[in-house]
Structure 1
Amino acid sequence: SLFDRQYLAYLTHAYHTDPSRIYHFYWSPLLLYSNYWNLNFFIRIQTTISSILRLGFLSEEQNLIQISTYSMSLWLLEEVGFWDADIIPEDWHIFLQAFVKFGTVVKTKPIYLITAGDGIIGDGMLDILKNRYDQEKRWAWGVTDIPFAMSEFAKTSHISWWDKIFRILSLVETHILWPSSFFILTIGALIPTLVNPYFKTTTLGFLLPRVAGGILTLTTSFVIVIAYLDYQARRHFLKKREHKRVAQLMMQWILFPVLSPIISAVLSSIPALESHTRMLLNKPIHYKVTKKT
């Protein structure tokens, strides 16, 4: 991770002026732009999607949980018994460890700066795609946080049931929609008809696929918004030769509405689905160091 040159100053000020600082995590979004033009074309599109998504998390301050790179007090880390050695995606898990012990005073505070990271590379396209697939599969193993939270919340009395339910629903929303969102968006409107053919003869059954298709078509207009946010976030990492890549960038954004759903399915939803299925069947998953440099 490469921090913004103002990161430590921002963090120091935020920590010093925060009355509940010992209970808080501090996080700036990790955007994978450090080696952007060294990435495979498909990985660049996927990197853009994930980076803008992380940027959007800053708006969810009440529900924010840090990802990848973060800061916390040494006191809090010692109080929760340090990181769990058996957990692969430790960022959300360490938050839950603290939340279970200290309750709603534990929060992740946003730092409105960008932390840069490297995207996936490899030896040839197939190796690159495999590396990215394995990385997503490893991240999706974080679904184990749901049973962990449910089990630990059942033992705690200092957290209200409303706060427990809210936190669990947030975990479920993130981890269950991760592998299923692509299928819900693409074939979700067809499922009622497949289950009950009579539904197709009703007014709602006739209109549902058309309304769903119209909504999905409308969302393509937000590609302009994503392109703008991507440029604003990435311009800190622009190189002098970047102007020579305007044609590449234009082609990338023209193809973005067509390729992004496919790339999201292959490099996000499907590996997450495999990861969850392996967990359900008690199959192992191995930590593989991702090649980035």
Structure 2
Amino acid sequence: MIINKNYYYYRLLEILPGFLVWTTLIGAVILSFWQPIIAIYFIILFDLYWFLRISYSLIYLIISWRKYQSEIKIDWQKELDYRHINYQQYEHLIFLPTYKEPLEVIAKTFDNLIAVKYSLKKMTIILGGEERDKENFLNISAIINERYGQYFKKLIITVHPQNVAGELPGKGSNMHYAGQQAKLYVDQQGWPHERVIVSCFDIDTHVHPQYFAYLTMQYATVDRPTHYSYQPLAFYHNNMWESNFITRVVANSTTFWLLTDLARPERLFTFSSHSMSFDTLVKVGFWQNDIVTEDSRIFLQCFIYYNGDYQVKPMYIPVSMNTVYMGKFWRSLINQYKQMRRWAWGVEHFPYMAWNFARNKKIPLVKKIRYLWNQTEGVYSWATAPLLIFIMGKLPLWVASKNIQELYIAQQAPYILKFLMSISMVGLFLTGFLATKILPPKPQKYHWAKYLIMFFQWLIFPITMIIFGSLPATDAQTRMMLGGRFKLGFWVTEKKD
């Protein structure tokens, strides 16, 4: 907890991202009326910059795509045997936090786990519930234990107590408590911490059949495995065919964002479902229990603990989760907005990074600058870029005086912007094609023509970038800027049975 005079410095850091966003948006409007010709030049250069940046990102997307296509074709269990790797020395701890999720969702996750191509007797499952939902959770966990308990080495049930001082109710506090309980079991078994591999999954996560064999291969062959987190590719395929076209586009956008970043591990944070060393998890004090975005904060905890000698290793094997689709169109869209706002609350990492980087002199300056820049520019662009490109970009042309509208640059600006947008559509159609390629098998009840819908739905991407990109990101950064009662708590994504 930051106290006394340090509180004001930390609050200043919390204010800065939102201040930059609102300064940009308000400044763009003022500049459009005050100096429209400068605004026109700016928006042309800005759009050109983003065109080049998107083209650059597509290269990484293709690189990751090729690696993904290659890795999923390998039988990693056979590869472990072929290389004579003593994978039996490793134990897997799998954390599954839950709060009010229905039995059907949890059971499907366990059905998926018992089908993986890896020894289930090397897996210990920690199913973590909440005291706030104790009766319901214990009933469900008893059914799960009866159905699936015999398959694994151990199924541990934990109930996170409510109203713990200093905690924020949510996934982070649940995992923090579950981690402490798991340590008691690990120490009781006498397992060396560095030989225990942790995987933290959302309760609806379905892993690829080769996930644990692939993860074990990565852990066993990398130098100093305790200095890495292991980030799989995130799909949202569990209910993709049932979801509406908007939630499909937003979910797949997340997949392709992560697919692009997997080819650039120097930019990677952990996100959603991920794996790491239990030894490192214990050393950093488990997942932070007083924040919303513990899934990515755990990387920063490790990065700071190891003085910058820590990074995320990309895994080109996917896990799959649910979209936010709930069967009702508008309810699903509201949930989609809330989910994106919760993810955008990752802006809370900026003050944490700036605060701790300033106090840790052992982290190389280059790494401090790189991670701070990536985080700051990332959340800033998330909030501002779509608005500047698709809305603010037209404003100076609308409000310019007749004299300015008669200038050559003003007359050519719409054609230049249209040309850049048209070329950018190539990347959009490439994304649509790849999204169609990775779809799970089509249920028989759907006509083959739905593949066409899956492809052409990407035409609404510019709209989703604003409604489910810029707006929730601006919302989150504004809330952190205002502080107090405006700060975001943890919202549990609703899961459809």
Please confirm whether the aligned pair reaches a TM-score higher than 0.5, indicating the same fold. Answer: yes
Contact 1:26/1:111, CA 8 A, preserved across alignment: yes
1:96 aligns with 2:300: yes
Give me the whole-angstrom Cα distance separating, in 1, the residues matched to 2:366 and 2:409.
35
1:4 offset after TM fit, Å?
0.7
**Partner of residue 492, structure 2:** 289
1:199 offset after TM fit, Å?
7.1
Give me the whole-angstrom Cα distance separating, in 1, the residues matched to 2:363 and 2:311.
14
Question: SS where residue 49 of structure 1 aligns?
Answer: helix
1:208 offset after TM fit, Å?
4.1
- Is the deviation greater in 197-206 or in 28-37? 197-206
Contact 1:29/1:114, CA 8 A, preserved across alignment: yes
Question: SS where residue 238 of structure 2 aligns?
Answer: coil
**Partner of residue 377, structure 2:** 173
Gaps of 5+ in 2: 1-204
1:188 offset after TM fit, Å?
4.7
Give me the whole-angstrom Cα distance separating, in 1, the residues matched to 2:310 and 2:408.
49
Among 267, 276, 280, which residue is 2:477 paired with? 276
Question: SS where residue 377 of structure 2 aligns?
Answer: helix
**Partner of residue 434, structure 2:** 229
Residue 199 to residue 281, structure 1, CA distance change in 2 (3 Å): farther
Give me the whole-angstrom Cα distance separating, in 1, the residues matched to 2:371 and 2:297.
13
Higher-Rg structure is 2
Contact 2:241/2:442, CA 8 A, preserved across alignment: no
Residue 196 to residue 103, structure 1, CA distance change in 2 (3 Å): farther
**Partner of residue 262, structure 1:** 463
Give me the whole-angstrom Cα distance separating, in 2, the residues matched to 1:103 and 1:201.
58
**Partner of residue 212, structure 1:** 417
Among 224, 233, 244, which residue is 1:29 paired with? 233
Contact 2:207/2:319, CA 8 A, preserved across alignment: yes
1:40 offset after TM fit, Å?
1.9
1:248 aligns with 2:446: no
**Partner of residue 208, structure 2:** 4
**Partner of residue 45, structure 2:** none
Among 56, 71, 80, which residue is 2:284 paired with? 80
Question: SS where residue 215 of structure 2 aligns?
Answer: helix
Question: SS where residue 278 of structure 1 aligns?
Answer: helix
Residue 275 to residue 29, structure 1, CA distance change in 2 (3 Å): same
Give me the whole-angstrom Cα distance separating, in 1, the residues matched to 2:347 and 2:404.
34
1:240 offset after TM fit, Å?
5.3
1:271 offset after TM fit, Å?
1.5
Give me the whole-angstrom Cα distance separating, in 2, the residues matched to 1:125 and 1:273.
24
- TM-score for the superposition, normalised by structure 2: 0.54
Residue 252 to residue 111, structure 1, CA distance change in 2 (3 Å): closer
1:163 aligns with 2:364: no
More helix by share: 1
Q: Report the AA paired with residue 216 of structure 1.
A: M
Give me the whole-angstrom Cα distance separating, in 1, the residues matched to 2:441 and 2:231.
23
Q: Report the AA paired with residue 289 of structure 1.
A: V
Question: SS where residue 83 of structure 1 aligns?
Answer: coil
- TM-score for the superposition, normalised by structure 1: 0.90
1:49 aligns with 2:49: no
Contact 2:350/2:372, CA 8 A, preserved across alignment: yes
Residue 181 to residue 245, structure 1, CA distance change in 2 (3 Å): farther
- Is the deviation greater in 210-219 or in 13-22? 210-219
Residue 202 to residue 82, structure 1, CA distance change in 2 (3 Å): farther
**Partner of residue 19, structure 1:** 223
Equivalence map 1:47-196=2 (5 Å): 47-122=251-326, 124-190=328-394
Residue 189 to residue 121, structure 1, CA distance change in 2 (3 Å): closer
Residue 11 to residue 212, structure 1, CA distance change in 2 (3 Å): same
Give me the whole-angstrom Cα distance separating, in 2, the residues matched to 1:167 and 1:196.
40
Contact 2:304/2:356, CA 8 A, preserved across alignment: yes
Give me the whole-angstrom Cα distance separating, in 1, the residues matched to 2:279 and 2:221.
17
Question: SS where residue 33 of structure 1 aligns?
Answer: coil
Give me the whole-angstrom Cα distance separating, in 2, the residues matched to 1:177 and 1:89.
19
For residues 14-64 of structure 1, give each alpha carbon's deviation from its aligned partner in whole angstroms, at most 9, with x where no partner exists.
Answer: 101111210100011111011111212221222222222222222112222
1:68 offset after TM fit, Å?
0.3
- Is the deviation greater in 188-197 or in 83-92? 188-197
What is the root-mean-square deviation of aligned Cα atoms in Å? 2.3
1:116 offset after TM fit, Å?
0.7
Contact 1:192/1:199, CA 8 A, preserved across alignment: no
- Is the deviation greater in 216-225 or in 145-154? 216-225
For residues 182-208 of structure 1, give each alpha carbon's deviation from its aligned partner in whole angstroms, at most 9, with x where no partner exists.
Answer: 112213544666898787676555544
Gaps of 5+ in 1: none
Give me the whole-angstrom Cα distance separating, in 1, the residues matched to 2:293 and 2:406.
47
Give me the whole-angstrom Cα distance separating, in 2, the residues matched to 1:191 and 1:157.
46
